[in-house]
Amino acid sequence: MNEATQQTPVLEARNIGKSLGGRPILSDLSLSVYKGEMKVLIGPSGAGKSTFLQCLNHLITPDTGELLLNGERISPANKGELRSLRERVGMIFQDFNLFDHLTAQENVSIALVKVKKMSRRDASLRAMMELERVGLSRRAGLYPAELSGGQKQRVAIARALAMDPEVILLDEPTSALDPELVGEVLAAIRELARGGMTMIMATHQMDFARALATEILFMEKGAIIERGAPASLLAPGAKTRTQAFFARLVAEESAC
């Protein structure tokens, strides 16, 4: 890694703010993610994690603040710049959002053809490669309705990866899954982290966050109220909000 990339964050958000109907949803959020890092957003539902992630690729337009991709300021008014931001920032949704009318392979290849202007042949080959990577090459011809939740999410990961994104945003990628399917999706994400992918992920999976996060950001009511390395936030006896939150999650899970 050379000096320059070390110093410039891949994605930087400065003072992002958003309100809806006069009620603030996000207030003054800042975050920088460097190459190969994984930032994990934690917090109760309704804390604004999802909104914040969608602000990072302007699926939701923030009211205030700015975004820098590799140090370059993105001006959202410029449609071309906006599209290139989205092309370079991948996103995984909680409820997959695979295109219902396309096969797994077409789901992965369509943006390569339409956005990256690849030839159809190259795009399908690339799609096959990405599906292979998430272990789904044998399901390439199936439609979303014929896949399990875990398989759908892995196709969504392949779809994001195929675009060669510089950073991937993951919005609670395992929340909509049955418990027995969570593992396969986490394994795919772990594989990405091992490969050095830069990621920002909202999740409730504590063990996963502890093992892989470079930094945990605890959000509540639209603000980051705690941040730090997992080792410090989750150290035994740390008495942090993060720790209390996870303790409650674990208690709820075992109560079920």
Partner 1 sequence: MLSLDMFWNRVIPALNEGLFFSLSLIIPSAVIGFLGGVCIGALRVYAPPAVRRIADFHVGVIRGVPLLLQLYFLYYALPKWGVRFSPYQAALLGFILCSSAYHSEYIRGALLSIRQGQVKAAYALGFSTLQMALCIVIPQAVRRALPGCGNEIIYLIKYSSLAYVLTFIELTGHAKELTARSFHYIEIYFTAGMYYLAMTSLAAWLLGLLEKKTRIPGFGAQK
Residues that bind partner 1 (CB under 8 A): 54, 57, 59, 79, 83-84, 86-91, 93, 95-101, 110-111, 114-115, 142-146, 159-160, 163
How distant is the alpha carbon of residue 50 from its chain centre? 10
- What is the smallest separation between the CB atom of 114 and partner 1, expressed in angstroms? 5
In the complex, the smallest distance separating the C-beta of residue 176 from partner 1, rounded to whole angstroms, is 11
State the angle between helix axes of 179-194 and 149-162 in degrees (0 to 180), rounded to the nearest 10: 20
In the complex, minimum distance from the CB of residue 139 to partner 1, in angstroms, rounded to a whole number: 13
Task: Compute the least distance from the CB of residue 235 to partner 1, in Å.
Answer: 36
**Residue 99: CB minimum distance to partner 1, A:** 6
d(CA 54, CA 170): 10
Nearest residue (CB) to partner 1, 47 versus 53: 53
Residue with tokens 């993610």: 33
**Which 3 state secondary structure label does DSSP give 238?**
coil
What is the b/e burial string over 82-102, where b = at least 16 CB atoms within 10 angstroms of the residue's CB? beebbbbbbbbbbebebeeee
Contact 162, 111 (CB under 8 A): yes
Which neighbouring-strand residues pair with 220?
Answer: 223
Q: Which is nearer to partner 1, 43 or 90 (CB)?
A: 90
Q: Which is nearer to partner 1, 142 or 238 (CB)?
A: 142
Residue 217, beta-bridge partner list: 41, 227
Question: Closer CB to partner 1, residue 4 or residue 145?
Answer: 145
Under 8 Å CB-to-CB from 219, ≥6 apart: which residues? 41, 42, 43, 47, 48, 49, 52, 225
> Please, which residue, 5 or 97, has the CB nearer to partner 1?
97
User: What is the rounded CA–CA span in Å between residue 172 and residue 33?
Assistant: 18
State which residue, 133 or 159, has the beta carbon closest to partner 1. 159
What is the smallest separation between the CB atom of 87 and partner 1, expressed in angstroms?
Answer: 3
